[in-house]
Amino acid sequence: MSSTPKRPPAKPYTLDGLPPGLIFVSDIPFGFTMPDKVTMLGDAVLDQNLCSSNSSLPRPSVLATIADCVAGVPACEGMAPRLAVTLDIVVNIVAQPTTELLIIEGSIIKKGRNVVASEVDFFDSQTKALVARSYLTFMASPRPQDVAPPVASSMRTTSSMPTPFPEHVGAHIVRPGVAQIEHSSFVQQAAGTLQGGIISLLGEMATESLAGAPVVDLDIRYLSAVRVGPGQAIATPLGPDLYRVEVRDLGSENRLAAVITARVARSPLENAE
């Protein structure tokens, strides 16, 4: 993978008005604009710190985090002042990128008063081939205290991740098949719960530690919030290369927070050409 990609210029916008480094998402190099109310266009630079362990394949949890932000902005705009919360995210990696710079193209495929569904694609910036596709569904939070923060129709993070993603956010392996993270403001979203990308990272790490291979597909179903923590993910095999993961809030009576289906790739994916 190339090491010196060039990013298109854009006006810097820090997530929720906070400086880089106070929320982990601000340390993922990406940006996007909305040329209209249903289309999102942008780019992301995914270096080795944002790739799976011992692999140059982007972490699907990183793609899920980016897609959640890209699709979450129009969802919040459509549901304001209510907060849009993520119901589910699906990420399918279909090819190995040939460069660190990926092009983002997103669109809203259904927009209702209480539910918004979106699709976000990631393309190789050199070959223009599809690298990954994601689907997301959002709903309006039923809690009156959950109010959407101010959002802009464009954003650009201004920092980068200095260490591997799991280390940077404080996620760790307890034992093979079990991953855990403490609750903190650095990894939470506007409602004070663990951000959806962190939930997906826990599922990914638990699976990788058990399978010994990188995850290429994630299907995350968010069931309840991790408000206390630690958040813990436990992976169990379903079949060849397929795993089921439960994520729970250990500090809230072990409440089930998410169910994830993950698939690993034991052979390298073909290049995105």
Q: What pLDDT tens digit does each residue of the chain (273 aa) get?
A: 443 333 333 333 334 444 455 789 999 999 999 999 899 999 999 999 999 988 889 999 999 999 999 999 889 887 878 888 899 999 999 999 999 999 999 999 999 888 999 999 999 999 999 999 999 999 988 887 777 677 778 889 988 999 999 999 999 999 999 999 999 999 998 778 899 999 999 999 999 999 999 999 999 999 999 999 999 999 999 999 999 999 999 999 999 999 999 999 989 899 988
Q: Does domain 15-264 have CATH number 3.80.10.10?
A: no
**DSSP 8-state assignment for residue 108:** E
Q: Taking the domains of the chain in order of start, what are their residue ranges?
A: 15-264
Residue 10's pLDDT is 34
Q: What is the pLDDT of residue 7?
A: 33
Burial class (CB in 10 A: 0-12, 13-18, 19+), 185: exposed
pLDDT of residue 54: 82
Q: Enumerate residues 6+ apart whose C-beta is below 8 A from 267.
A: none
**Where is 105: in which H helix or E strand?**
strand 101-111
Residue type, 220: I
Six token digits for residue 48:
């080795």
